[in-house]
Amino acid sequence: MADYEWKSAITDIGPGKIRVRGYHITDIMDKLSFAETVFLILKGELPTKAEAEMMRAILVASIDHGCSPPSVLGTRNVVSGGNPLNAAVAGGVLVIGDSHGGAIENSAKIMQEWAKKDGDVETLASEMVDWLKEKKIRMPGFGHRLHNVDPRTLKLFEIAGKCGFSGRHIELCKAVEKALENKLGRKLPINVDGAIAAVISDMNFDWRLGKGFFIISRVPGLISHAYEEMTREKPMRQLGNRNFTYDGPGEREI
């Protein structure tokens, strides 16, 4: 039976040859920044100046958010249990999900689906919030435990404006923030996930890449936390909230 052959359009390799999306790695090393290279490998084409600048800001925005995020606690717990850096970073990445970091994916999916519809963004946002309420879905990319206004969102939208990416998705995202406040009676600020979701949608990225942007940005942060935990803390220390009350069955006999 002939060897099973499959195709990949990402990187061509051979003896002495590595070409990412067609470009020699040595030329990329000479000429592109990390953010530009991330754009190239994800999109398949070189970024324009504006795309490169936007990508740089996106990758910087989520690099770290202190010791409280679940992924950081995951990473630190894995180290604290006596495991190496690779396991700790993998553990932290596994914690990233629809409620933390991974909200970019679903936020972009919803935004991309709704932005395609006819109508002005205010009407669409209002209908979207009614739909979310009916389905009992929390709008991904909105709300934050700490920030009433997420400074990363403001900066990303400012840079998006300068780079020419303030399109229908960002407009819709801002309108959804207002509609949530009007209809739910509470301020749910656009968080960094929601802002990235809107920006990458205006940059024509597929929503299925959403979690990837957060992972690429956050891994250096997780590595720093793993290293600090290894070098500053005692093994198996008590991390997180120890305040819990047992409310299962009382003492009983078998």
Ligand X SMILES: CC(C)(COP(=O)(O)OP(=O)(O)OC[C@H]1O[C@@H](n2cnc3c(N)ncnc32)[C@H](O)[C@@H]1OP(=O)(O)O)[C@@H](O)C(=O)NCCC(=O)NCCS
Q: Which residues contact 13 (CB under 8 A, 6 or more apart)?
A: 19
186 or 242: CB nearest ligand X? 186
Distance of closest approach, residue 25 Cβ to ligand X, in angstroms: 34
> Counting contacts by CB under 6 A, is residue 80 touching ligand X?
no
Q: In a 3-state reduction of DSSP, which class is residue 3? A: coil
Distance of closest approach, residue 28 Cβ to ligand X, in angstroms: 32
Q: In a 3-state reduction of DSSP, which class is residue 94? A: helix
Site for ligand X in 181-200 (CB under 6 A): 186, 188, 191-193
Binding segment toward ligand X, per CB under 6 A, in 30-38, 80-88, 142-150, 169-177: 142-150
* Number of residues near ligand X (by CB under 6 A): 16
> Counting contacts by CB under 6 A, is residue 138 touching ligand X?
yes
> Counting contacts by CB under 6 A, is residue 142 touching ligand X?
yes
40 or 104: CB nearest ligand X? 104
From CA 237, how far away is CA 64, in angstroms rounded?
A: 22
* Nearest residue to 18 (alpha-carbon basis) of 29, 7, 31: 29
From CA 170, how far away is CA 238, in angstroms rounded?
A: 42
CB of 222 closer than 8 Å to CB of 73: no
56 or 144: CB nearest ligand X? 144
Site for ligand X in 98-127 (CB under 6 A): 99-100, 103
Please report, in angstroms and rounded to a whole number, the separation of the first and last CA atoms in the chain: 60
114 or 142: CB nearest ligand X? 142
φ, ψ dihedrals at 7, nearest 5°: -115, 145
Site for ligand X in 18-77 (CB under 6 A): none
Which of 139, 160, 190, 196 binds ligand X (CB under 6 A)? It is 139
33 or 99: CB nearest ligand X? 99
CB of 143 closer than 8 Å to CB of 193: no
Q: Which residues contact 55 (CB under 8 A, 6 or more apart)?
A: 35, 36, 38, 39, 47
61 or 192: CB nearest ligand X? 192
Q: Residues in the site for ligand X, rule: CB under 6 A?
A: 99-100, 103, 138-145, 186, 188, 191-193
